[in-house]
Chain A
Amino acid sequence: MSEALIRVEGLTKDYVMGSNVVAALRGVTLSIAAGEFVAVMGPSGSGKSTFMNLLGCLDHPSAGRYWLGGQEVSALSGDELAAVRNRKLGFVFQHFNLLARTSALDNVALPLLYGNVPAAERHPRAARRLTQIGLAERMDHHPAQLSGGQQQRVAIARALVNDPQLVLADEPTGALDSRTSVEIMALLQQLNREGITIVLVTHEHDVADFAGRIISFRDGQVIEDRPNAAKDAAAAL
């Protein structure tokens, strides 16, 4: 196994709600190697989303440590985390989160805007990614003019545009029909084969089955962590 891309030790997150303290994550320790395709599973309230947010540098842990690509990120400030998100991470959301009335091309180029990429490079790089995921014809379309599957592809292109070390996908098929879901999974598998590390959160076994490793959460703890004989999504189509 190659060097760990993600390493977390005793990762803990408590939410304070009034006088109650809710422990969302109770000391998770694990590591994920570069090039893995991991599915994180669990019922709602299991802590999988909290875990995902911490991996995505969107939230600070209450305790524990987190190394991403050898850099400890659990101690970074807000602006430093923003820079980590910009350069090392790509996000795919359940509801796509594309900017309305903004072309697919501009949506994909958005992370480059915040990464100080020169204006002349942004559109060519975004166009390359859109072509890669098969939407070369739809670059000028607004999200409202695209189908759900196409919107999610645009979101994936956006996640990839800054050449991240890790793509985090939070229920990426949650808003899609089953056939389109398989298409999206096939795309993620293909990207994984090209060397991109993917961590996927889902509560559907069918979707998790396309990953090479399945980590299950319950009550803020890992209850199962097993390799999976990944089903080939392209073949399932």
Chain B
Amino acid sequence: MNFAATLRIALLALRINKLRSALTMLGIIIGVAAVIVMIAVGNGAQARVEDQIKSLGSNIIMVLSGSMTSGGARGGSGSQPTITEDDAYALNREIDEIQAAAPSLRGSGQVVAGNANWSTVFYGTSPEYLQVRDWAVIEGRGFEQAEINGAGKVALIGQTVALNLFGEANPVDQVVRVNKVPLTIVGVLDRKGQNMMGQDQDDIILMPISTARKRVLGSSRYAAGRNVGSIMVKTKDGANMAEAEARMRELLRQRHRLQSGQDDDFYVRNLSEILQAQEASSKVMSLLLAAVASVSLLVGGIGIMNIMLVSVTERTREIGLRMAVGARARDILTQFLVEAVTLSLIGGAIGILLGVGGATAIAEFAGWRTELSGGSIVLAAGFAGAIGIFFGYYPARKASRLLPIEALRYE
């Protein structure tokens, strides 16, 4: 007997008991819909973490100044400025895995524009900084090389600073005074939002590193020489971060002339790792949600088994007749199995529609971020089919093992 005929018989049998078929499917429908919605919610949470990673800039490694040991007392990180601008340029030049490395000098102070003022942080850096942090200039322009070399009196400002100093007005070409040094704003940075610690990343002013060193920081100990507070490094896409870290460490040790027994006089921190840990935990969360949802799929499967067992008993005489006219045990097995799988697949299809609708509704009304994935839909459909086979097999086998003579006589 061919498959098309078997399928037709199955569909007919399901049509005869419409209400019962619908109720049987309900379990699968709810299960599949729940799995899809839960995975969408879990993926949404994960995507939020991923966005945070993106706002930091991906593949970021920080190099910080090390600690100084004097008289047995070890200072904290940055207690001694050990890394320099030239370290950053060397990293850029000599390590293949690195896409960009930006030195930065950090300071804070009062910023004045006209009669408005605002306290913020500023960074003296190189043009690579924007590249490292995947940060766009939405109005105006970035720094030019001449401004970097010649301590140009220019600045880029973040959205929060712009709002507080200029309101809705366009800040480009306006002058701000940072620690009394007048700087012309050449560009406005795109909005970054909060970082994962809740700090406002838009509350910032960027200026050429030479400007910060020579004009703004003034008496600070960073002003002398070419020392910087930190170097922010972005590795190339697909590069091995651990490898890059090891090579950076090796290069810096060499440049700082450290003996093999000596401690590093700098710190290397991989910021993405922290976020990746968060991402992993949100993955576990969404897996858990999906596991809970799949319990309802299981219950739906048991419903199918229940109804198929009833159906086999009810149709014993039909089975006997089919056997009398030549159906083999395996024909009967296939017929009932196809019926169960058809039930679960139709239920699965309806469940997918409901799940997609539900996820969309949750995003719309509850304002949660949900993310539908093709994978979860395929998974749910596959799971529904597998449940049909698994829970349909026992009733189908029971039907196929009936003795034709007893089945025919069944009242």
Contacts and interface: CB of A to CB of B under 8 A. Distances in A.
Contacts of A86: 325-326
A58 B408 contact: yes
Contacts of B4: 119
15 contacts: A58-B324, A58-B405, A59-B404, A78-B328, A83-B326, A85-B326, A87-B326, A97-B320, A99-B318, A110-B321, A111-B325, A111-B326, A113-B5, A114-B327, A119-B2
Given A58-B405, A59-B403, A79-B329, A110 B1 contact: no
Interface in B78-113: none
A92 B320 CA distance: 13
A114 B1 contact: yes
B399 interface: no
Contact of A82 (B5, B323, B403, B405): B323
A20 interface: no
Given A53-B405, A83-B326, A87-B326, A97 B321 contact: yes
A35 interface: no
Contacts of A58: 323-324, 404-405, 408
Nearest to B329: A78
B322 interface: yes
B242 interface: no
Interface residues of B, number: 24
Interface in B396-411: 403-405, 408
B244 to A, nearest CB: 66
Contacts of B317: 97
Interface in A105-123: 110-111, 113-116, 119
Contacts of B403: 59
Interface in B211-258: none
Nearest to A106: B12
B264 interface: no
A144 to B, nearest CB: 12
Given A78-B329, A97-B408, A56 B324 contact: yes
A210 interface: no
A163 B335 CA distance: 25
Interface residues of A, number: 27
Nearest to A98: B321
Contacts of A116: 1-2
B16 interface: yes
Interface of B: 1-2, 4-5, 12, 16, 317-318, 320-331, 403-405, 408
Given A58-B408, A97-B320, A97-B324, 19 more contacts: A58-B405, A59-B405, A79-B328, A82-B327, A85-B323, A85-B324, A86-B326, A91-B325, A97-B317, A97-B321, A100-B16, A110-B322, A110-B325, A113-B5, A114-B322, A114-B326, A114-B328, A119-B4, A158-B325
Interface in A78-96: 78-79, 82-83, 85-87, 91, 93
A50 to B, nearest CB: 9
Contacts of A101: 12, 16
A53 B328 CA distance: 17
Nearest to B5: A113
A131 interface: no
A102 interface: yes
Nearest to A80: B328
A59 B405 CA distance: 7
Contacts of A110: 321-322, 325
Q: Choose among B12, B320, B323, B328 the residue with the greatest number of A CB atoms under 10 Å from its CB.
A: B328
A100 B403 CA distance: 21
B318 A85 contact: no
Contact of A91 (B324, B330, B331): B324
A58 B16 CA distance: 29
B408 A93 contact: yes
Contacts of A85: 323-326
Contacts of B405: 53, 58-59
B1 A113 contact: yes
A199 to B, nearest CB: 15
Contacts of B330: 79
Nearest to B324: A91
A165 to B, nearest CB: 14
A121 to B, nearest CB: 13
A83 B331 CA distance: 12
A82 B330 CA distance: 11
Contacts of A97: 317, 320-321, 324, 408
B408 A99 contact: no
B40 to A, nearest CB: 41
Q: Choose among B2, B323, B325, B329 the residue with the greatest number of A CB atoms under 10 Å from its CB.
A: B325
A85 B328 CA distance: 10
Contacts of B326: 82-83, 85-87, 111, 114-115, 162
Q: Choose among B321, B331, B403 the residue with the greatest number of A CB atoms under 10 Å from its CB.
A: B321
Given A58-B405, A79-B329, A93-B408, A119 B5 contact: yes
Nearest to B6: A113
B331 A114 contact: yes
B400 to A, nearest CB: 10
Interface in A23-81: 53, 56, 58-59, 78-79
Nearest to A114: B326
Contacts of A100: 16
